[in-house]
Structure 1
Amino acid sequence: MDIPALVGQMMPYVMTAIGAYGGAVLTKAQDLAADESVSLGRRLLQRLLKREENRPGIEAAIRDAVEFPEDEDFQSALRGQLKKALTADSALAADLARMLASSIAGSAGGQTVSGSFIGGDNIQIGQARDVTIDRR
């Protein structure tokens, strides 16, 4: 398994969760209204932190990333801790890869359009939720 590539895929979600929750990312209960990226980042971190050996280094790196969110050195330190944890546990790496794959497959990048309708002046392409379109 390509651990650096896996960590590269995880980092945007992890940093989004850190940005949304700050230091509470380590303790905040799952928020049902959370954005999908934040939710995925939170689940990835929760899974990583289940292994006691991973916890101290990853938690310290998260705290630094929370305190200095724009500092690439702290993001790199977190990325290094993630690589270390995933290199040491191939089952964990495979589990997180599955989490990413299933989430990405169900995200906006994998949309399927069905039920399109064209009639008169109206065109309907698929369905959307939480979208309001008003005619002026």
Structure 2
Amino acid sequence: MTQYVTMAAGAYGGAMLARTQDQAADVTVGLGQRLAQRIFGVRGEGEEVPEPLADVIDDPANGDNQAALRKPIRKALADDTELAAQIRQWIQDAHQAGVRVMTSGERSPAVHTNHGIIATGDSNTFTR
């Protein structure tokens, strides 16, 4: 889910919480925007954006910023089961419509379903 919000942050910047859904030209970015608005609330243009989201807006490619964004998202979903169900449905609908998230850059995996190890570091060893 963080990837969708990050894509919207990169596309819209601080206005991502102020824009309406029909202004989103790209389906993937629109989904990220809806997710961010649902979790962080809709804000007027120029209103302050929550810090973890502001950091991603400033530097969407920064892995630390993306990791910090995951915490409030995870907390919001854990605290509100209806929200979690709604967002799960949005993402399923998006996947059925062909929306995919891709990452680029060194050591940036994008995974839908994983049943094994994903290692992005150097000289990793794993035992099973």
Is the TM-score greater than 0.5?
A: yes
Distance in 2, matches of 1:33 and 1:85, equals 24
Aligned residues: 94
The answer to whether structure 1 residue 21 and structure 2 residue 12 are counterparts is: yes
Report SS of the residue matched to 1:28: coil
Q: Which runs of 4+ in 1 moved over 6 A?
A: none
Q: What secondary structure is seen at the aligned counterpart in 1 of 2:19?
A: coil
Tell me by how many angstroms 1:17 deviates: 0.4
More displaced, 29-38 or 59-68? 29-38
CA-based RMSD of the aligned residues comes to 2.1
- Percent identity between matched residues is 39
In structure 2, the residue matched to 1:98 is 89
| Contact persistence 1:26–1:59 (CA under 8 A) | no
The residue aligned with 1:62 is 53
1:48 and 2:39 aligned: yes
Counterpart Cα distance in 1 of 2:18 and 2:29:
14
Q: Could you say which residue in structure 1 is the equivalent of 2:27?
A: 36
Unaligned runs of 5+ in 1: 1-9, 52-57, 110-136
Structure 2 letter corresponding to 1:76 = A
Structure 1 residues 33 and 18: CA distance shift in structure 2, 3 A: closer
In structure 2, relative to structure 1, the CA distance for the partners of 1:90 and 1:101 (3 Å cut) is same
Q: Report the TM-score when normalising by structure 1.
A: 0.61
Deviations 1:19-51 (A, max 9, x none): 100111121233446111011111111222349
Structure number with higher helix proportion: 1
Letter in 1 for 2:81: S
Q: Please point out which of 63, 66, 81 is paired with 1:72.
A: 63
Give the alignment's TM-score, normalised by structure 2: 0.65
